[in-house]
A and B are shown apart, each in its own frame.
Chain A
Amino acid sequence: MPVLFWTLKALLSHWRRHPVQFFSVLTGLWLATSLLTGVQALNSQARESYAKASQLIGGEPQKVLVAPNGANYSQALFVSLRRAGWPVSPALRGRITLKNLPEQRLTLLGIEPVSLPSNTALAGQSLDTAQIVDFFTPPGSTWISPQTMQALGLHEGEQPLSESGQALPQLHAQADMAPGLLLMDIGFAQQLLNQSGQISRMILPADFAENTPALPDDLKGELVIRKSGEDNDLGRLTESFHLNLDALGFLSFVVGLFIVHAAIGLALEQRRGLLRNLRACGVSARGLIGSLIIELGVLALLGGIAGVISGYWLASVLLPDVAASLRGLYGAEVAGHLNLSIWWWLSGLGVALFGAFLAGASSLLRAARLPLLALANAQAWHETHARWLKRQGWIAGISALIALLAALFGNSLALGFVLMASLLLSAALGLPVLLNALLNALLGKSRSVLGQWFLADCRQQLPALSLALMALLLAMAANIGAGSMTSGFRQTFSHWLEQRLSAELYINPQNSAQAAPLQKWLSEQPLTSAVLPNWQVSLQLHGWPAELYGVIDSPHYRQHWPLLDSASGDPWGQLAKDDTLMLSEQLARRLKVAVGDEVKLPAPDGDWQLRVVGIYADYGNPKGHMLVNAEHLLEHWPQLTPNRFNLRIDPHAIPQLLRVLHNKFTIDDNRIVDQIQLKAWSRQVFERTFAVTAALNSLTLMVAGVALFISLLTQSQSRLGQLAPLWALGVTRRQLMLLNLAQTWLLAVLTLVLAIPLGLLLAWCLDAVINVQAFGWRLPLQVFPAQLLSLMLLAILATLLASAWPLYRLYRTRPADLLRTFANES
């Protein structure tokens, strides 16, 4: 025990004398843990919210009866089914906005507690009689999650007003409620949603649902049985979104570990003498390695604690953007406040420990393997380093081969990430080898003495700086890759949006009864130049939700619906005449069909076989999207009514039309959307989605800057030995500083130049592999020179900042310090 104690004391005393190194190890661990745990916090918060939403009633997804097109239907169907002996319970789901809180759209779920299957838990609670009575007896009861109540600035017992001025039942916070959801009696919900006599689903008891009898004849085609959440399985739909976040977090983690690796390696190298001393004083190799492991563990815990705390902070800063993206893209509500379990905190510390040992493993291995008498021999250490570099070159080559194989034969998202990871690993590990070769080539061409020294000394600095340069390469490439992909996507998306959202006004009828008179009235209006009705059916294809739209044959589609691929001749004409369909790119990929292939759709009267005549882009839609001719659709779903009308109208005439419309029909404002509003909303969702990517990328670049700073600072002391002879030969300290600056810049600029092709390759991977596998759409690779230039300038600025302090210290070095370099030589 005294051996361990005194060995640890001696080892730890090193950090007291070298606080910068201590800071660098902690910073690396801190940043690595922080970014990864931050992303994990975001993901786990979102997944917990999805689980709460899908398990609100009965603790698990229930089977429900819904209309095929997902629209609301009459409460009379509930009554007739009950009379037929079906133990169903009605529910109504809709969106509501509260007065003075127009930004916050909430989901309102109305239930009928008396007819709910017996022993059904609501938000994890079994209702007693008093609670059931409270629910439907005025003023009623609205269940809400505590986080949502706090985020809205509301209080227990309060009765907030809806946008239309109606008071909600009294608010009661319930811990297990899903965020953004209001639960109340269906009677209140119908009034608030202005859906009197309407319901959106009927809940079936689990035991009854297992052996459901056939629906009464008069209801066949009107209702279908679905699993609650099946049409909107958030966990599955958002999987790729979270996977992408995970990948970014992991990249930052790796960059952070590069700092730890560099700092631990340097610390061990600087302690060679100490290690030898300890061994000479009788500390066994095993005891020494054990002590180094304990020391690393303590450092990992310290860095991990700081990392987990700041990861929590980072997640809470990014959560609003992530929540907005998830709401916009998938309609998923995520709690606005982080509520993380103890396991998240502990796993964060575990990540830090794992990372520290991963980053320190090679240094520990080297210390354990080096013979005792050679420990203090710098040459032995460097020879080991040279062998290590050679091995690194081999691993880089093998990684490149794996990347090539993944690119040629990969057909899954996991293999897409393998491609990117092996590409990055190959580039990072190959960087020192490549820089070494480049400097060697330059050295061979240099004629001046100072130039030769400059390049040779630069090459000598490579081992100490290589890890920081690798981190810079990775961060820069990730920024170029993600930046090019985002900018390219923005350009493609805007162009697509301009074409696709060409109708000026979109109106959704309040209910199916309103559809026919509304269509007739709209067609008669002189202000509208075209009325394009849409019929919609929600389907499940290969387990994925998809929406089938019936459209009329109109020149509008020919002009404004761009096709990525189409049948020869007139695809729109074929869509109008034959049993054909067009489908979104992502659905085509998921179904593995191309133009000319056949697709079978499940219709109430059996499978409906259609030939694909067109494939179109449908960016941002996680669900499958299909177009068929409306007449053909209605042959299979005769009860359908139009659920949306796209109007071509002079934008200036919109207010006038809406005034007349409101006089004639009762339609909520949220059922009328104009093009400008829709485009602005789509762009906002886009920007907020990529705000998280941009933030994480900037942080990664910052981490790389810190890595470079730490490496330069750590080696600035040992640089005196190389610089003192030049000083003795008459080079001034100012010149030395400038030479040193030029060396750092040369290495950094070479790294940055290599980062450009790597970044573009990464952008291609994101555009053509990751996006295709994760979301189903492929983007064209676009290069933005101005963006590349600004990123380069930013990285050079980061390099300048990182080298400023070490250079300043060098500049301030007294002649006496330089002289001591010679005095210490023996």
Chain B
Amino acid sequence: MLQVQGVFKSYATAQGPLAVLRGADLQLGQNESLALMGESGSGKSTLLHLVAGLDQVDKGSIEIAGQRLDQMNEAQLANWRRTEIGLVFQQFNLIGSLKVEDNLAFQARLAGRYLPEWQAELVERLGLSALLKRYPEQLSGGQQQRVAIGRALASRPGLLLADEPTGNLDENTSDEVLQLLLDLLADSPTSLLMVTHSPRVAARLDRQAVLHLGRLAAEGDR
């Protein structure tokens, strides 16, 4: 499903170029879940952004379902994100001016993949039925993250990328949201790549990988 090979990425800073990724490698199979861990600045989020097509590699390749991301142009990458990728952020990043129901359907509609039955099932399973007419600011953190997960899965993407999805939630809510996410993924062919600091969260995914100084330092199974 996902093949990351020898990826390098650096950013220009006032003090000169800062190398964040220095030959990172990673593999992820279909319907598999992988927790990406590492200390701050190890390059976890950068790798996630590159896989999402939000940024371009300096060197190396990223291949997803047989397609090379590093060879796509801006428009192709946008189309790629719209149809093949679901993104969940730590800060939820919902559209504040749209109601919950519109937020949920947003990406699926953009991708032309809006399925009312699937949407209804997501609403039901995420426990959002009573909240559909509300705006994001009227929801708690856990509720907002559930909406973000629903939005990411509504278009049935091949790959779900989550950047610290429970980082802003308390322990109980975090467990609850994570369980919902894993339950939903269990019934779909979607793979999950999640960046997390929490070993407890990482332990619930199929595999764990640790990045250190921009390279894969360790890997293990549940």
Which residues of A pack against B, CB within 8 Å?
A: 2-3, 6-7, 9-10, 13-14, 16-18, 273-274, 276-277, 279-287, 372-373, 376, 826
- Which residues on the A side are within 8 Å of B135 (C-beta)? 17
Given contacts A6-B109, A280-B87, contact A273 B96 (CB under 8 A): yes
Given contacts A282-B81, A284-B74, A373-B49, contact A6 B110 (CB under 8 A): yes
Main SS class of interface, A: helix
* Nearest-Cβ distance from residue A243 to partner chain B, whole angstroms: 46
Interface centre among B74, B75, B106 (most CB of A within 10 A): B106
B83 and A282 contact, CB distance less than 8 A:
yes
A10 and B98 contact, CB distance less than 8 A:
yes
A274 and B97 contact, CB distance less than 8 A:
yes
B78 and A283 contact, CB distance less than 8 A:
yes
B82 and A276 contact, CB distance less than 8 A:
no
* Nearest-Cβ distance from residue B213 to partner chain A, whole angstroms: 21
Instruction: State A279–B55 Cα separation when bound (angstroms).
Output: 11
Cβ of B95 under 8 Å from chain A: yes
Residue of B nearest to A824 (CB): B137
Residue of A nearest to B168 (CB): A826
Instruction: State A274–B92 Cα separation when bound (angstroms).
Output: 12
A13 and B98 contact, CB distance less than 8 A:
yes
- Which residues on the B side are within 8 Å of A826 (C-beta)? 91, 168
- Give the interface residue-count category, chain B: 20 to 34
Residue of A nearest to B167 (CB): A826
- Which residues on the B side are within 8 Å of A287 (C-beta)? 78
Given contacts A10-B106, A282-B111, A284-B74, contact A276 B93 (CB under 8 A): yes
Residue of B nearest to A276 (CB): B93
The A-contacting residues of B in range 34-71, CB under 8 angstroms, are 49, 52, 54-55
Residue of B nearest to A273 (CB): B93
Cβ proximity bits B93-108 to A, threshold 8 Å, 1 near / 0 not = 1111110001000110
B97 and A372 contact, CB distance less than 8 A:
no
Instruction: State A246–B106 Cα separation when bound (angstroms).
Output: 48
A372 and B110 contact, CB distance less than 8 A:
no
- Which residues on the B side are within 8 Å of A10 (C-beta)? 95, 97-98, 106
Interface centre among A9, A274, A282 (most CB of B within 10 A): A282
* Nearest-Cβ distance from residue B153 to partner chain A, whole angstroms: 13
- Which residues on the A side are within 8 Å of B54 (C-beta)? 279-280, 372-373
Interface centre among A13, A280, A285, A826 (most CB of B within 10 A): A280
* Nearest-Cβ distance from residue A687 to partner chain B, whole angstroms: 52
* Nearest-Cβ distance from residue B151 to partner chain A, whole angstroms: 8
* Nearest-Cβ distance from residue B84 to partner chain A, whole angstroms: 9
Given contacts A283-B78, A284-B78, contact A6 B106 (CB under 8 A): yes
Cβ of B112 under 8 Å from chain A: yes
- Which residues on the A side are within 8 Å of B98 (C-beta)? 9-10, 13
Instruction: State A56–B21 Cα separation when bound (angstroms).
Output: 83
* Nearest-Cβ distance from residue B99 to partner chain A, whole angstroms: 9
B80 and A285 contact, CB distance less than 8 A:
no
Instruction: State A14–B95 Cα separation when bound (angstroms).
Output: 9
A282 and B107 contact, CB distance less than 8 A:
yes
23 A/B residue pairs, CB under 8 Å, sorted by A? A2-B110, A2-B112, A6-B106, A6-B109, A13-B98, A273-B93, A273-B96, A274-B95, A274-B97, A277-B94, A279-B78, A280-B52, A280-B89, A281-B87, A282-B79, A282-B81, A282-B83, A282-B110, A283-B82, A283-B110, A285-B74, A373-B54, A826-B168
